[in-house]
Amino acid sequence: MTTNAMLAQVYSLPEMIRESFQRFDDAARQTWSHQLCLSTKRVYITGCGDSHHAALGAELAFESLAGLPTEAQTALQFGRYSAGYLTQAAPGMNLVIGISVSGEVARTVEAMQRARARGASTLALTATPGSRVHQAGDTAFLTTVSDFPDLPGVHTPGIRSYAASQLGLYLSAIRLGEVRGHITTAEATGLRAELLSLAGAIEEVIQTCEPAVKSLAERWAAAREFIFVGSGPNFGTALFSAAKVLEASGDSAMGQDTEEWAHLQYFARDVDTPTIFITAGERDLSRVAEVIVAAQTIGRNIAVAAPSRAGELAEVGSRLPLPDRVREVFSPLVTAIPGEMFAAYRAEVAGEAYFRNFGGGRDQSGGGGISRIRTSTIEELAEG
SS3 378: coil
pLDDT tens readout for residues 173-192: 999 999 999 999 999 999 99
CA-to-CA distance for 3 and 14, rounded, in angstroms?
19
pLDDT above 70 covers a percentage of the chain that reads 96
Q: What is the mean pLDDT of residues 77-84?
A: 96
As a whole number of angstroms, the distance between CA 365 and CA 317 comes to: 43
**pLDDT bracket for residue 358 (50, 70, 90):** confident
Whole-angstrom Cα distance, residue 335 to residue 321? 10
CA dihedral 20, 22, 27, 28 (to 10 degrees): 110
- Of 197, 199, 205, 237, the C-alpha closest to 321 is 205
Query: d(Cα 189, Cα 300) in Å, to the nearest integer?
Result: 44
Average pLDDT, the chain: 94
Three-class DSSP category at 305? strand
Percent pLDDT > 90 in the chain is 87
C-alpha span between 73 and 142 (Å, rounded):
21
At residue 1, does pLDDT exceed 60?
Answer: no
The model's confidence at residue 89, banded by pLDDT at 50, 70 and 90, is: low
How far apart CA 291 and CA 134 sit, in angstroms, is: 42
User: In the prediction, which pLDDT does 114 show?
Assistant: 96
Domains of the chain: 5-183 (3.40.50.10490), 203-358 (3.40.50.10490)
What pLDDT, on a 0 to 100 scale, did the predictor assign at position 383? 59
pLDDT category, 81, cuts 50, 70, 90? very high
- The model's pLDDT over 136-163, given as tens digits with 9 standing for 90+, comes to 999 999 999 988 887 676 789 999 999 9
The predicted structure's pLDDT at residue 2: 66
Region 329-350: mean pLDDT is 98
Q: Residues 178-231: pLDDT tens digits? A: 999 999 999 999 999 999 999 999 999 999 999 999 999 999 999 999 999 999
Q: Which residue has the higher pLDDT, 312 or 163?
A: 163
**pTM, 2 dp:** 0.96
* CA–CA dist 105, 208 (Å, integer): 36
- HEC string of 92-157 equals CCEEEEEEECCCCCHHHHHHHHHHHHCCCEEEEEECCCCCHHHHHCCEEEECCCCCCCCCCCCCCC
Q: How far apart are CA 294 and CA 274, in angstroms?
A: 14
Instruction: Inform me whether the pLDDT recorded for 255 exceeds 70.
Output: yes
Which DSSP letter does residue 30 get?
H
Q: Is the pLDDT of residue 316 over 80?
A: no
d(Cα 255, Cα 335) in Å, to the nearest integer?
14
**Higher-confidence residue: 83 or 381?**
83
Tell me, what's the pLDDT at 382?
A: 67
Dist CA 324 CA 306 (whole Å): 9
Computed over its alpha carbons, how large is the radius of gyration of the chain? 20
Query: How confident is the model at residue 14, as a pLDDT?
Result: 98
Confidence of residue 363 (pLDDT cuts 50, 70, 90): confident
Question: Are 45 and 169 within 8 A, CB to CB?
Answer: yes
